[in-house]
Chains A and B, each alone.
Chain A
């Protein structure tokens, strides 16, 4: 993983929006104990920075935002996962049931 970004690199930054004591009164206890955090991606405006340093980015629509550099060329981490045994047989089970029916019964 890249640890240094340069001007114009596409990066992800993060920032704390509300600290634990500043959260909305209606949030449940577990959520009250943690900060509200934000992440956004954009093109870095500083000449150079290490992960963890404060930087400015310009987002894809041109908004300038300050935050802590979290990732350079941030990749998408979600995927299809692997096969799930609980789903693997449903299709053949259902087809087997359907095959037992005669056309004139319906």
Chain B
């Protein structure tokens, strides 16, 4: 078949996106390069109460918050006296499609239906595909999910094959592609051909859909413990999970809860590389998305990304693939919950972080996800071995993404490796300079400076120093 040229389609991006989302992002532009984030969320999103109502009618949300008593006990055994916070987990796997992504999808599908679209398309290799497919099925909308699945030899990543199967189970058409960022190009072709709604992960209503998660965590912890959680750990990839959950916690009045983001360390593996593609054992929740999306949110499909994690995260740290597989076993065998593994990134982080906290404090792991063929640690480890990745028991500090997976020998080897927040903020500013200022410091108006201060939570003077503007 003859397809339009890549550049030709990409040049039409703004128009196709506007038609497929129904938002004119121009309405929120201000200064020379900034935009009014809260206005965008207010005008295009939904009020929390409306979202609670939409999700209740879609069977989404109100998931249990479970105390991990045995894992807490284990963490306390490894902690100094008086340390070892109570660990809770929000069992998001109980959503209709098995992950927190149902929250985003419920609102996207509701919005598409309200605007009169006959179908909805999602470009995702993650759990969001099944979430959109499941919600579309309930609402009678056609659904297409576009996934990056295979390397050039036609070998599919088992986790993504499983997610595709799940989408098909909900009646969606699944378009499977080989490795490459041109997935987005193909997505634009489909939007234009079908006139369907773009269920982007990054719209204001998609992000607003996750606010209920943070809101529920606050309410549940208060009802169990009579206080707010001291920390909530959130698996971080594109930024929506951190942004939405943190906004929900704030709306519930949790002013002092620490927002901690965690990703699995896949540094060194190129996300668009055909040869690296099948050396990853995690297809989401990893640094390949986590760091670029934190330091440059507007790389998303929509002109203005509603997921802006640096506005919310107090700490951001990494765990290794082997550590996540280890805690996935821990969760199954000590708590009777077979979940993940990708959703357990934040559990691995919380297990380490709880040991730093006082034993009367509470740390919440804010998601689980369903497991199944392909997604399961057994399938992922077998697949890694088949692709030349060495799997051993040992010290997880020796983990090298794409080369080996080191499963800890003992629980005390699990560590949360902090990323320097200041350097993330500086990277963000470097991206502002490269994309907007381009050396012309007089482009920075006072509105833009205000925007940057909110974006990275840094004083205006400090920002001017870093941008070398005076």
Report yes or no: B177 in contact with A97, Cβ–Cβ below 8 A: no
Report the minimum CB–CB distance from A29 to chain B (whole Å).
9
Which residue of A28, A31, A82 has the most chain B CB atoms within 10 A of its CB atom? Answer: A31
Contact of B411 among A33, A40, A94 (CB under 8 A): A94
Query: Are B5's CB and A22's CB within 8 A?
Result: yes
Q: Are A34 and B178 within 8 A (Cβ)?
A: yes
Cβ of B6 under 8 Å from chain A: yes
> Mostly helix, strand, loop or mixed at chain B's interface?
mixed
Neighbouring A residues of B407 by C-beta, 8 Å: 86-87, 90
Which of A17, A41, A100 is in CB contact (< 8 Å) with B182?
A17
Contacts of B270 in A (CB 8 A): 28
Q: Are B374 and A24 in contact (CB under 8 A)?
A: no
Contacts of A84 in B (CB 8 A): 377-378, 381-382, 391
Q: Are B156 and A38 in contact (CB under 8 A)?
A: no
- Contact call B326/A18, Cβ cutoff below 8 A: no
Q: Mark B119-150, 1 if CB is under 8 A from A, else 0.
A: 10000000000000000000000111000011
Q: Who on chain B is nearest to A60 by CB?
A: B173
Which residue of chain B is the closest to A91 with respect to CB atoms? B333
- Assess A90 versus B326: contact at CB under 8 Å? Given A24-B185, A38-B186: yes
Whether A1 is near chain B, meaning CB under 8 Å from some CB there, is no
**In the assembled complex, which residues on chain B have CB atoms less than 8 Å from the CB atom of A36?**
177-178, 180, 182, 186
Contact of B393 among A27, A62, A86, A101 (CB under 8 A): A86
Count contacts on B: residues with CB < 8 A to the other chain: 66
Indicate if A30 sits at the interface (CB-CB under 8 A): yes
Q: Among the listed stretches B271-279, B308-316, B455-463, which one makes contact with chain A, having 4 or more residues with CB under 8 Å of it? A: B271-279
* Complex interface bits, B158-195 against A, C-beta within 8 A gives 1, otherwise 0: 10011001001001111111111110011000000110
Within the complex, what minimum Cβ distance (angstroms) separates B119 from chain A? Answer: 7
B325 touches A (CB below 8 Å) = yes
B332 within 8 A of A: yes
Task: Give Cα A14–Cα B70 distance, bound, in whole angstroms.
Answer: 49
C-alpha spacing A31/B178, complex, angstroms: 10
Residue total for A at the interface (Cβ-Cβ under 8 A): 49
Closest to B144 in A: A61
Cα distance A42–B83 when bound, in Å? 57
Which residue from B6, B165, B326 sits with its C-beta under 8 Å from A22?
A: B6
**Residues of A contacting B289 in the complex (Cβ-Cβ under 8 angstroms):** none
Q: In the complex the two chains form, what is the Cα distance from A94 to B175 in whole Å?
A: 42
CB nearest neighbor in B for A88: B329
Subset of 19 A-B contacts with CB under 8 Å = A17-B182, A17-B186, A24-B182, A27-B272, A31-B274, A34-B274, A39-B150, A39-B176, A60-B168, A61-B119, A61-B143, A62-B142, A79-B374, A81-B376, A81-B378, A84-B378, A86-B393, A87-B329, A90-B329
Chain B residues proximal to chain A, CB less than 8 Å: 1, 3, 5-6, 70, 73-74, 76-77, 119, 142-144, 149-150, 152, 154, 156, 158, 161-162, 165, 168, 171-182, 185-186, 193-194, 270, 272-275, 325-326, 329-330, 332-334, 373-374, 376-379, 381-383, 391-393, 407, 410-411
Taking A63-B194, A84-B377 as known contacts, 20 extra A-B pairs with beta carbons closer than 8 A to each other, sorted by chain A number, are: A15-B1, A18-B185, A27-B181, A28-B274, A30-B274, A31-B152, A37-B177, A37-B178, A41-B173, A80-B376, A84-B381, A86-B392, A91-B329, A94-B329, A94-B411, A95-B334, A97-B74, A98-B70, A98-B74, A101-B77
The 5 closest A-B pairs by CB, nearest first: A91-B333, A81-B382, A78-B374, A34-B152, A90-B329
